[in-house]
């Protein structure tokens, strides 16, 4: 498991990976994944899993064959570490290499280390993170093109690496958070193919929360504001890395703010008991309410658990569970119920037809027998209607985020395959696992020559005929 948190220096290209089993011949296109791959800068180590320098991994599929290449994202963050051995930008939990004097008098720079997700933006491919600095790359060679230049002036220091396509229009929807005496969340939309962000709504707050993702439906956008909050003045006076300025304040509860997707008006603003999450599973409109499914933790302890010295050690892993929250649009508050008793994280669905709409199946990673003494070590298929689950587990193997790809002639929501990068700890290398999404049976595995560090998110792009 430790290989998942070790630096990978090698950049390689393999035209034809060794494949065990059979990859469906209809699977044509590429899976590009993003995540950290360098955890040291000279003699200094980054402190948190979320801090490592971005590397892209591309798996290509054609006629049953699988190719692979990987490449560092050549951002100013990466070049500083490579060329000088120094950390030039503040990361999630790691400060730049500055003296105490310099730290006091220098405002932290926004990191361009886009190590969380990838996005198809029209004809372009972007790597993205939680700061509003996207990085364009070539989707075939993975070569870095450069920082994306937005054609607007929407201010903000924080965003999410989980933008959504509006189900009815295809607009890209996200938010940016501008810190200040009264911080402001700004929801925005981007028309297809545009680099201009149009502000849809604004929400002022005294102590903004840390939000890694949000929810969308056909008619609404939902910000779920957890009580892991910050006084923005802390960034200037405490001299601590970004996330260490936040404090867990469970007395504030968790706030659900529902916006009208058409005009930006707030249609509901309700609170429930405190909980924390990184990822939304899906959301949809129902009669008089909005249904929001989330991979929920009881508190924000998972943030501390993912510091590298802890996750490489013997610390227990906090587990999230799939929970449904129903927000009454008439002011009736929030109801909740757990959807299953299996731990469930890094959730994915059949996105294009079911994002923001009623759905049945979700796919995620979990912990075998809900054990807390290991890292995520199984894949889970969840039926959100019945609560039934299917698992894929192999002792000593650690799968990453499962990406669903629909069959070209799909007749059911789960007609297709699930793709996941799996680390074989004993062999010290990774492979691309292909599961039948319906039965969760293994169809094939393509072996990679090295261990791929544990990554975050990726997207499959079908090859155009």
CA distance linking residue 93 with residue 23, whole number of Å: 40
CA distance linking residue 103 with residue 99, whole number of Å: 6
Do residues 170 and 89 make contact, with C-beta atoms less than 8 angstroms apart? no
H/E stretch holding 324 reads: strand 321-328
Report CA 66 to chain centroid distance, whole Å: 25
Q: What was the pLDDT predicted at 100? A: 40
- The residue with tokens 């802890």 is 310
- The residue with tokens 């798996």 is 59
Rg for the chain (alpha carbons), in Å? 21
Q: Does pTM top 0.85 for this prediction?
A: yes
How many C-beta atoms lie closer than 10 Å to residue 202's C-beta?
14
In the numeric block, which tokens belong to residue 275? Answer: 């909980």
CATH classification at residue 231: 2.130.10
CA torsion 119-121-124-126 (nearest 10°) is -30
In the sheet that holds 289-297, the strands lie side by side as 276-286, 289-297, 321-328, 334-338
3-state secondary structure of 120: strand
H/E stretch holding 77 reads: helix 76-84
CA distance linking residue 212 with residue 190, whole number of Å: 19
Question: 354 φ, ψ to 5°?
Answer: -125, -10
Domain enclosing residue 448, as ranges: 2-462
CA distance linking residue 372 with residue 392, whole number of Å: 18
Residue 315 DSSP class: P
CA distance linking residue 303 with residue 307, whole number of Å: 7
Q: How many folded domains does the chain comprise?
A: 1
CA distance linking residue 147 with residue 21, whole number of Å: 40
Do residues 256 and 292 make contact, with C-beta atoms less than 8 angstroms apart? yes
CA distance linking residue 131 with residue 150, whole number of Å: 13
CB neighbour list of residue 169: distance below 8 Å, 6 or more residues apart = none
Q: What is the DSSP string of 233-271?
A: THHHHT---GGGG-EE-GGG-EEEEEEETTT--EEEEEE
Per-residue pLDDT of the chain (465 residues; tens, 9 = 90+): 789 999 999 999 999 999 999 999 999 999 999 999 999 999 999 999 999 999 999 999 999 999 999 999 999 999 999 999 999 999 999 988 654 434 443 445 678 999 999 999 888 999 999 999 999 999 999 999 999 999 998 999 999 999 999 999 999 999 999 999 999 999 999 999 889 999 999 999 999 999 999 999 999 999 999 999 999 999 888 789 999 999 999 999 999 999 999 999 999 999 999 999 999 999 999 999 999 999 999 999 999 999 999 999 988 999 999 999 999 999 999 999 999 999 999 999 999 999 999 999 999 999 999 999 999 999 999 999 999 999 999 999 999 999 999 999 999 999 999 999 999 999 999 999 999 999 999 999 999 999 999 999 999 999 754
3-state secondary structure of 79: helix
């Amino acid at each position: 498991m430790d290989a998942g948190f070790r630096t990978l220096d090698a950049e390689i290209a393999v035209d034809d990976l060794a494949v065990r089993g059979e990859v469906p011949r209809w699977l044509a296109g590429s899976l590009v994944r993003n995540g950290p791959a360098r955890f040291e800068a000279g003699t200094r180590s980054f402190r948190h899993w979320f801090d490592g320098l971005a590397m892209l991994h591309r798996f290509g599929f054609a006629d049953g064959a699988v190719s692979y290449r990987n490449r560092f994202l050549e951002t100013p963050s990466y070049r500083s570490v490579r060329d000088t051995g120094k950390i030039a930008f503040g990361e999630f939990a790691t400060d730049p290499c500055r003296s105490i004097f310099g730290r006091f008098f220098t405002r932290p720079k926004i990191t361009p280390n886009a190590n969380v997700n990838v996005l198809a933006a029209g004809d372009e491919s972007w790597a993205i993170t939680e700061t509003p600095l996207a990085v364009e790359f070539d989707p075939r060679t993975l070569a870095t093109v450069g920082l994306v230049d937005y054609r607007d002036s929407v201010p903000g220091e924080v965003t999410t690496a989980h933008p959504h396509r509006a189900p009815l229009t295809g607009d890209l929807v996200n938010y940016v958070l501008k810190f200040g005496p009264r911080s402001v969340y700004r929801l925005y939309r981007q028309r297809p193919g545009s680099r201009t962000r149009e502000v849809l709504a604004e929400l002022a707050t005294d102590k903004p929360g840390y939000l890694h993702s949000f929810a969308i439906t056909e008619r609404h956008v939902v910000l779920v504001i957890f009580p892991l909050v910050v006084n923005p003045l802390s960034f200037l006076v405490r001299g601590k890395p970004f996330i260490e300025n936040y404090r867990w304040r469970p007395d504030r509860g968790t706030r659900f703010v529902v916006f009208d997707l058409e005009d930006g008006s707030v249609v509901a603003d309700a609170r429930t008991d405190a909980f924390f999450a990184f990822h939304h599973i899906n959301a949809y409109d129902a009669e008089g309410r909005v249904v929001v499914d989330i991979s929920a933790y009881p508190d924000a302890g998972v943030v501390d658990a993912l510091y590298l010295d802890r996750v490489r050690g013997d610390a227990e892993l906090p587990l999230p569970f799939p929970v449904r929250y129903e927000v009454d649009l008439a002011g009736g508050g929030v109801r909740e119920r757990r959807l299953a008793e299996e731990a469930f994280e890094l959730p994915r669905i059949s996105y294009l037809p079911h994002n923001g709409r009623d759905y049945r199946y979700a796919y995620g990673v979990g912990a075998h027998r809900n054990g807390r003494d290991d890292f995520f070590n199984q894949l889970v298929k969840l039926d959100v209607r019945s609560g039934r689950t299917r698992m894929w587990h192999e002792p000593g193997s650690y799968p990453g985020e499962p990406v669903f790809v629909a069959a070209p002639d799909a007749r059911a929501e789960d007609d297709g395959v699930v793709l996941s990068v799996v680390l074989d700890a004993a062999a010290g290398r990774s492979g691309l696992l292909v599961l039948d999404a319906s039965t969760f049976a293994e169809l094939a595995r393509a072996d990679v020559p090295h261990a791929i560090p544990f990554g975050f998110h990726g997207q499959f792009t079908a090859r155009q005929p």
